[in-house]
Chains A and B, each alone.
Chain A
Amino acid sequence: MTTTQDAPKFERSVPKPVFTDAEAGAREFPDSNSRRYNYYTPQKRKQSHYEDVTVDVQPDPRHYLTQGWLYGFADGRGGYPLDWTVLKAWGSDQPSPERGPGSGGMIVKDWPATGWHEFRDPNEEWELTLYRYNSNVVRQVTQNVEAAKASKAFEQWNANWVRFVEQHIGAWMHVDHGLGLYLYANANRRAPTNMHNNAISVNSMHRIRAAQDLALYNLTLSEEIEGFDGSAHLETWNNDPAWQGVRDLAEQLTAIDDWCEAIFAANIVFEPLVGELFRSQLVQQAAPRNGDFVTPTVIGAAEYDFAERDLRYTTAMFELLTNDREFAGHNKAIMSDWASTWTAKSLAAARALQPLWSQPDAKPPRFEDGLDRVKSRFSGIVVSLGLEEPKELAQ
């Protein structure tokens, strides 16, 4: 270098890059090629990205958690007690390892510690997937509504259909919102593994998003359609006798103490019998006949959430339990009871909705036909879980 005559260069105080060669493969030594999370067994042959970011984040004293839970409720119980549901997965009845002076970690060698740990969300939801999916939905819904606005699509609606949308489509937002928060979000504290709780929290966001989708759609309609009453949904939800059955039932669902029962009642029973009845058998059928091709795209997003995502993880979760190597019989008996109880309640709520079928000018297919269709779909779901079709379905 021959720059001695240059003025001394002002040098800022910044960290200097240093060549460290701390790159994978730079050396061979014990473990230098052990590049996978070695503490869990994958569901399939290869560990998935989803499993890597999910499995074992939530610890378990029956597995690796040697010092036990550190903070408890007033009754001295910490963590995620298995008896927060009456369902059981194999190993649930085995006592927790009793650790103490000189016991060592007593790590359960036989993976997993209980059958609960075998659950994997078939949707493989983690942050990357959940934001991608929901962003796509909100973008698509927004674009659909914008396109409809631009083409003056709402002008084709007859007065009765406008009333139907402001009242009844509007009322459903409350179901989504109430369950999203007080059933699903609530349940994300209660299941014994991270796989369960993450899937449940994603389910929660689907419902809260769907509620907001409907609310914001309602807002757009208030701006676009003269005489559209943006607050009619409140009156309907609070006072319309046709909705009080659904409301009563939605509130009962949020009152369930057992987290498995809550998810079962909501996703195996209520959604197929009431949610799909309302969305797929009523709204999706009636809207096009009444000149409305926009509402089905908004409702369809929620339908897809349920049918293609939320139901999918739910059946995977309960199938494990009805096929459990130790407690299949126990679980099936309890789930059958749940199916009976919630089927009776759901059908009563569904029947109370029947007056909605006669309100639009152009009528959807008959209520009984729609109900038969959802009953047969529901029946397929429970049978696929290894349960009998509840006799209450005949009601």
Chain B
Amino acid sequence: MSRQSVAKAHQKIQELSWEPAYHEPVSHYGTDYTFQKAQKKDPLKQVLRSYFPMQEEKDHRVYGASDGAIRGNMFRQVQERWLEWQKLFLSIIPLPEISAARAMPLLFRTVPNPELHNGQAIQMIDEVRHSTIQQNLKRLYMNNYIDPAGFNSSLRNFQSDYCGTIGRQFAEGFITGDAITAASIYLTIVAETAFTNTLFVAMPAEAAANGDYLLPTVFHSVQSDESRHISNGYATLLMALADEGNHQLLARDLRYAWWNNHRVVDAAIGTFIEYGTKDRRKDRESYAEMWRRWIYDDYYRSYLVPLEKYGLEIPHDLIEESWNQIWNKGYVHEVAQFFATGWLANYWRIDPMTDKDFEWFEYKYPGWYDKYGAWWENYNRLSMPNGHKPIVFEDVDYEYPHRCWTCMVPCLVREDMVMAKVDGQWRTYCHDMCRWTDEVAFRPTYQGRQTPNMGKLIGHREWETLYHGWNWADVVSDMGFVRDDGKTMVAQPHLDLNPDKMWTLDHLRKCPPLASPNVLLNEMSDDERTAFAARYVRGGPAGRAPADA
């Protein structure tokens, strides 16, 4: 269709919507926001007559590239270090995608502008596209990459593993609770507008540098739908801003959504990009540099700040604090180190870092070696089974962290850990913002105002609780992270596929039982707990015990 005829066609389909005359549609979801009914423009301006062929054409390119990659033996050049992390990433991401589809109807009744609903329905089907095209990419990896373990059990794995659980926030947060908080602020305004840039643009570039050009093909194709979704969010945000009564809630939700996205996405994608790559050219951008460009400049400075004049309260302090976490407090390095410490609870292999990696880290993050170098040397030394235990049980000056009740990433920047008794339970939080999210934001009142539609944090949020007192061999079997010989583990702390070099359940059988930090915390006396917290915040960096302990 010509551009003029698309415009005309779009104008015409505005005639489709109608006000109910006899019965209101069912109202399944609530919000504490209020919206005035106002004539709005559909920001997407998308007509299905051109939309379907456009998407089909994008598919042709994606599937053509897939065929080409297989015929061209792409996997002879793919870095295993990189592809192993895709076992984690691709186990999680189809769920957030499909959850975004499921989230769209949360907005139908709560945002009373039928003009926007057309765009939301298109986003719904876009997300079905994203979810299934990513499942398909993973299937292709499973079929063509040297080690299918972890891909072949993918959707079971992410449902029983703590990393999958961390990732699931980035899905369940879209579909529950206050409809606007979930489907608009958390999903479109923050997750899609801010963080998909790093997911779908920065990460594919790194994949390509590691010999994988299929991930970029698929994710750029996904990303090309994203700008339309951003317009959906923007239109809803402007409408919410039009009512002053919403400003307090917008401020709350932006703080929660920003902080949670930072904690979750930066943890995962930061680790993939910094620790999953073999590309150590000094002029390739580090995650911190990418973050500065995509998130700080593009999102914060260019998108958020201009909204201040419409009355949006921007969490300037949190944006600076996130940067502080990444740049000064080593957030990504702490997370990667934790993933590697706990390799045995996962379903992918983690390659040790080498001198070349050390050099790059030191160049990009001055002071890195002094903090993390010795630990990674130990990781390398302990990577093949040779009479010793996995690194988490060995004396390498690393204290197993407590988990954050809210974001479920452990409290890794030790000095920031806070503890509170909430809902009758002692909980640790990785940062005061995560405490605030649980104790203040996700509650039926907020700053004295009734917020009856706000969601709740639920579930067994500390993974270790479920396996408190278990032998590690039983833990790993229970989760199903075992290969088809019935004993070799899916996870390995190295990339050597020689069966003699691989860890098995027999090695784990000899290890001490798993202990849940949160169960232990709640068993302490008040004095013990106070002493524990005082000691904890003096620990780190790199998981070290307090210097004077």
Chain A residues at the B interface, C-beta cutoff of 8 Å: 13, 15, 17-27, 29-40, 49, 52-59, 63-74, 76, 78-79, 99-105, 107, 126-128, 130-132, 134-135, 137-139, 141-142, 173-174, 177-178, 180-182, 185-190, 194, 197-198, 201-202, 204-205, 208-209, 211-213, 215-216, 218-219, 230-231, 233-234, 237-238, 247-248, 251-252, 254-257
21 CB < 8 A contacts A-B: A15-B284, A18-B278, A22-B146, A23-B145, A24-B148, A56-B155, A58-B95, A68-B459, A70-B168, A71-B173, A74-B444, A100-B460, A101-B468, A102-B467, A128-B136, A185-B120, A188-B104, A216-B9, A231-B15, A251-B23, A251-B24
Query: In the complex, what residues of B have CB within 8 A of residue A74's CB?
Result: 30, 177-178, 444, 452-456
Beyond A211-B16, A234-B15: 19 further Cβ-contacts under 8 Å? A15-B281, A24-B146, A37-B155, A53-B133, A66-B159, A68-B458, A69-B459, A70-B459, A71-B457, A78-B172, A99-B466, A104-B470, A105-B466, A131-B59, A177-B16, A185-B104, A197-B102, A205-B48, A212-B47
Asked whether B18 lies within 8 Å of A174 as measured between CB atoms, the reply is yes
Bound form: Cα–Cα A373–B75 in Å = 58
Q: Known: A201-B125, A216-B12. Contact between A188 and B22, CB under 8 A?
A: no
Bound together, the chains give a CA A335 to CA B488 distance in angstroms of: 50
B177 contacts A182, C-beta separation under 8 Å: no
Interface centre among B30, B143, B152, B210, by most chain A C-beta atoms within 10 angstroms, is B152
Which of the candidate stretches B77-85, B190-198, B321-329, B539-547 sits at the interface with the other chain? B77-85
Roughly how many angstroms separate A19 CA and B78 CA in the complex, as a whole number? Answer: 8
B77, A20: Cβ atoms closer than 8 Å: yes
For B455, give its contact among A71, A181, A198, A257 (CB under 8 Å): A71
CB distance A202 to B485 under 8 Å? no
Are B209 and A237 within 8 A (Cβ)? no
Contact B18 A71 (CB under 8 A): no
Q: Which of B56, B159, B456, B458 contacts A63 (CB 8 A)?
A: B159
Contact: A185 with B459, CB < 8 Å? no
Q: Is B187 an interface residue (CB 8 A)?
A: no
B156 at the interface (CB under 8 A from A): yes
Interface contact B53-A71, CB-CB below 8 Å? no
- Evaluate whether A20 and B104 lie within 8 angstroms (CB atoms) in the complex, with A69-B458, A102-B466 already known: no
**CB-CB < 8 A to B461: which residues of A?**
67, 70
Given A31, A58, A202, which contacts B148 in the complex, CB threshold below 8 Å? Answer: A31
- Expressed in whole angstroms, the minimum distance between the Cβ of A56 and any Cβ of chain B is 4
Q: Does B230 contact A (CB under 8 A)?
A: no
Question: How many residue pairs bridge A and B at CB < 8 Å?
Answer: 396
Docked CA distance A208–B146 (Å): 44
Q: How far is the CA of A15 from the CA of B135 in the complex (A)?
A: 27
Residue in contact with B49 in the complex, picked from A69, A76, A142, A181, CB distance below 8 Å: A142
Q: A181 to chain B: which residues have CB within 8 Å?
A: 108, 117-118, 121
Cβ–Cβ < 8 Å partners of B160 in chain A = 64-67, 105, 107
Interface flag for B420 (CB, 8 Å)? no
Cα separation A37 to B157 with both chains bound (whole Å): 11
A52-B151 Cα distance, complex, nearest whole Å: 12
Q: A29-B499, A126-B132 are in contact. Are A254 and B26 (CB under 8 A)?
A: yes
| Beta-carbon contact of B466 and A104 below 8 Å | yes
Binding site for A on B (CB under 8 A): 8-9, 12-13, 15-18, 20-26, 28-30, 47-49, 52-53, 55-56, 59, 63, 73, 75-80, 83, 94-95, 98, 101-106, 108, 117-118, 120-121, 124-125, 128-133, 135-136, 139, 142-149, 152-156, 159-160, 162, 165, 168-169, 172-173, 175-178, 182, 208-211, 278-279, 281, 283-284, 408, 444, 452-461, 463, 465-470, 474-475, 478-480, 483-485, 487-488, 490, 497-499, 502, 516, 519
- In the complex, the answer to whether A53 meets B78 with C-beta atoms within 8 Å is no
Residues of the A chain whose Cβ atoms lie less than 8 Å from the Cβ of B502? 29-30
- Taken together as a complex, chains A and B put the C-alpha atoms of A216 and B15 apart, in Å, by 10
- Tell me whether B16 and A104 are in contact (CB under 8 A): no
Q: Which residue from A105, A212, A231 sits with its C-beta under 8 Å from B478?
A: A105
Contacts of B455 in A (CB 8 A): 71-74
* Closest CB in chain B relative to A30 CB, distance in Å: 4
B25 contacts A255, C-beta separation under 8 Å: yes
Which residues of chain A are within 8 angstroms of B104 by Cβ–Cβ distance?
A: 185, 188-189
Distance between B9 CB and nearest chain A CB, rounded to angstroms: 5
**Bound CA span A128–B132, Å:** 9
Q: Is the CB of B12 within 8 A of A215?
A: yes
Task: Please name all residues of chain A whose beta carbon is closer than 8 Å to the beta carbon of B453 when the two chains form the complex.
Answer: 73-74
Inter-chain contacts of A73 with B (CB < 8 A)? 29, 176-177, 453, 455-456
**A212–B48 CB distance below 8 A:** yes
Q: Which residues of A contact B23 (CB under 8 A)?
A: 248, 251-252, 254-255
Of all chain B residues, the one with the shortest Cβ separation from A18 is B77
CA distance A261 to B69 in the complex (A): 46
> Within 8 Å CB of A63, what residues of B?
159
Tell me which residues across on chain A come within 8 A of B142, comparing CB atoms: 35-37
* Distance in angstroms between the alpha carbons of A104 and B475 in the assembled complex: 7
A31 touches B149 (CB 8 A): yes
> For residue A40, which residues in chain B have a CB less than 8 angstroms away from its CB?
155
Contact assessment for B16 and A21 in the assembled complex, using a CB-CB cutoff below 8 Å = no
Q: Contact: B519 with A101, CB < 8 Å?
A: yes
Are A53 and B152 in touch, CB under 8 angstroms? no
* Minimum CB distance partner of B94 in chain A: A57
Contact across chains for B49 and A213 when beta carbons are under 8 A apart: yes
A15 touches B209 (CB 8 A): yes
Which of B13, B458, B484 is within 8 Å of A76, CB to CB? B458
Chain A residues contacting B56 (CB-CB under 8 Å) are 131-132, 135
Chain A nearest CB, measured from B134 CB (Å): 9
Chain B residue numbers with a CB within 8 Å of A52 are 135-136, 139
B466 and A66 contacting across the interface, CB-CB below 8 Å: yes
A67 touching B18 by the CB < 8 A rule?
A: no
Report Cα–Cα, A35/B483, bound state, in Å. 12
Residue of B26, B98, B169, B210 near A70 (CB, 8 A) is B169
CA distance A17 to B78 in the complex (A): 9
* Cα A33 to Cα B142 with chains together (Å): 10
Q: Closest CB-CB distance, A94 to chain B, in whole Å?
A: 18
Contacting residue for B135 out of A33, A53, A102, CB 8 A: A53
Docked pose: A99 CA to B462 CA in angstroms:
12
Least CB distance from B65 to A in Å reads 14
Interface centre among A20, A49, A190, A230 (most CB of B within 10 A): A20
Using A39-B155, A219-B9, A248-B22 as known contacts, say yes or no to A23 and B121 having CB atoms under 8 A apart: no
| B117: chain A residues within 8 A (beta carbon) | 181
B168 to chain A: which residues have CB within 8 Å? 59, 70
**Cβ of B121 and Cβ of A180 under 8 Å apart?**
yes
Contact residues in B for A26 (Cβ distance below 8 Å): 146
Note all chain B residues with C-beta closer than 8 A to A68.
458-460
Q: Are B148 and A34 in contact (CB under 8 A)?
A: yes
- CB-CB under 8 A from B145, the residues of chain A are 22-24
How many angstroms from the CA of A23 to the CA of B148 in the assembled complex? 10
A74 to B445, CA, bound (A): 11
What's the least CB distance linking B261 to chain A, in Å? 14
* Neighbouring B residues of A257 by C-beta, 8 Å: 26, 28
Inter-chain CA distance A57–B450, complex, in Å, is 35
In the complex, what residue of chain B is closest to A254 when comparing beta carbons? B25
A211 contact set on B, CB distance < 8 A: 13, 16
Chain B residues positioned under 8 Å from A234 (CB to CB): 15
Q: How far is A205 from B118 in the complex, measured between Cα atoms in Å? A: 10
